[in-house]
Amino acid sequence: MTQVLCVAGARPNFMKIAPVMAALADTGIAAQLLHTGQHYDAAMSDSFFSDLGIPPPDHHLEVGSGSHAVQTAEVMRRFEPVLDRVQPRAVLVVGDVNSTIACALVAAKRGVRVIHVEAGLRSYDRSMPEEINRVLTDQISDLLFITEKSALANLAREGIDPARVEFVGNVMIDTLYRNLERAVPASRTLGGALPEYAVLTLHRPSNVDDPATLAALLGVVGEISRTLPVVMPLHPRTRGSIEKFGLSDGLDGLHVLPPVGYLEMLGLMRDARLVLTDSGGIQEETTALGVPCLTLRENTERPITLDEGTNTLVGASPDAIRAAFEDVMGGGGKAGRIPEYWDGRAAMRIAHTLQGWLPAVKGVRALSATRAA
């Protein structure tokens, strides 16, 4: 009998599900992997499975892209028959993408227990679709694993029983430590060595869907590139916006790359002088690597990277970005330290908790016995 059906849907999920699947296998917990196909580009999906040694999915929904409503609904529609066939004791979801809330919601309505890895993170910005996914997933989860202690306070404010919450650390950092020695050197990815450089990633709708904001960001990054070369793996969404708004000139002078695999990106970050990003995961990875990070957002759901790590929140203001960049180049910026339990063993803590928790799960709740009329 499959005890846990694990769900991954998009690029941010893959680094989190890899150590979880390995730890479940090491502790003898029978698990299957379902890939919703929320990211369908090979460079954004298939290469990550290869790089991280994730076993081939037992189930692939091949959902593809769409609006938030269409994508979430399609994941739910395709996931339910798989759930009925597999009949696991629990469904494990990670992170905050559309697949996370979609599969959690189907499982909860079918009476199957839900486990949420990376629970309790909050930006308190409801304009972010990911924030809605986080809040709702946590409300319907039976067991919540958190990466930092601030998440416990967030969940308590929302009425979630602390007995359902376990502080285990950050599975994404498990993956980073496990693969750091395998990271592709930046010189190989770039086709030659740069003495120093910055890495830039942009993909958040707030930054790339508005032409004025995107133009301003590309403008200040262009200024930075005249002092420090800027390497930019270009997200498909961002490329589309640049072409749509006629901003291709803003890429002049930047070292633009297509989407890169995990090991290439890890090498680029490890060897960088500085990272500029609007990604949540990269805020955590740069903290683990000890690399200064300037986050191009007005808020973050990962406050520990500000309080203990190397992250500085600068928003999208060119003046703020310039000032923070000059501070780093002048020897300032945050040195940071490694947060508690970011030690490469978070996934094993999860597996050990599940060894004790799963035997108490008696099967689906009575709710699943009655289908909606």
- Is pLDDT above 50 for 87? yes
Residues 18 and 153 in one domain: yes
Q: Is residue 225 part of a domain?
A: yes
- Is pLDDT above 60 for 368? no
- Is pLDDT above 90 for 3? yes
Residues 296 and 206 in one domain: yes
Kindly report whether the global pTM for this prediction surpasses the value 0.85. yes
Residues 213 and 112 in one domain: no
Q: Which of 209, 187, 320 is nearest to 255 (CA)?
A: 187
Burial class (CB in 10 A: 0-12, 13-18, 19+), 12: buried
pLDDT average, residue stretch 12-33: 96
Name the residue range of residue 121's domain.
4-169+342-369
Residues 240 and 319 in one domain: yes
Q: Looking at residue 50, what is its pLDDT?
A: 84
Burial class (CB in 10 A: 0-12, 13-18, 19+), 367: exposed
Q: Looking at residue 370, what is its pLDDT?
A: 41
Q: Is residue 194 part of a domain?
A: yes
- Is pLDDT above 70 for 52? yes
Q: Looking at residue 372, what is its pLDDT?
A: 45
Q: Is residue 211 part of a domain?
A: yes
Residues 32 and 130 in one domain: yes
Q: Is residue 334 part of a domain?
A: no
Q: Which of 262, 265, 263 is nearest to 277 (CA)?
A: 265
Residues 35, 203, 235, 255: which is the catalytic one?
203
Residues 67 and 140 in one domain: yes
DSSP character for 96? S
SS3 content of the chain, % helix, strand, coil (to 5): 50, 15, 35
The tokens for 60 are 């692939």
The tokens for 323 are 């000032």
Residue predicted with more confidence, 372 or 340? 340
| Residue 60, domain CATH | 3.40.50.2000
Counted domains in the chain: 2
Residues 208 and 260 in one domain: yes
DSSP character for 2? -
Which has the minimum average pLDDT: 4-13, 131-140, 364-373?
Answer: 364-373
Residues 203 and 235 in one domain: yes
Question: What's the Cα-to-Cα distance from 23 to each of 52, 115, 345, rounded to whole Å?
Answer: 14, 15, 9
Residues 118 and 226 in one domain: no
Residues 162 and 25 in one domain: yes
In tens, the pLDDT along 278-298 reads 999 999 999 999 999 999 999
Question: What's the Cα-to-Cα distance from 310 to each of 99, 140, 290, 334, rounded to whole Å?
Answer: 30, 33, 6, 5
Residues 20 and 155 in one domain: yes
pLDDT average, residue stretch 239-260: 95
Q: Is residue 82 part of a domain?
A: yes
Q: Is residue 88 part of a domain?
A: yes
Q: Is residue 363 part of a domain?
A: yes
Q: Is residue 175 part of a domain?
A: no
Residues 80 and 201 in one domain: no
Q: Which residues neighbour 88 within 8 Å (Cβ) at sequence distance 6 or greater?
A: 1, 2, 3, 4, 5, 32, 112
Which has the minimum average pLDDT: 307-316, 341-350, 360-369?
Answer: 360-369
pLDDT average, residue stretch 312-336: 94
Q: Looking at residue 11, what is its pLDDT?
A: 83
Q: Is 203 tagged catalytic?
A: yes
In tens, the pLDDT along 102-154 reads 999 999 999 999 999 999 999 999 999 999 999 999 999 999 999 999 999 99
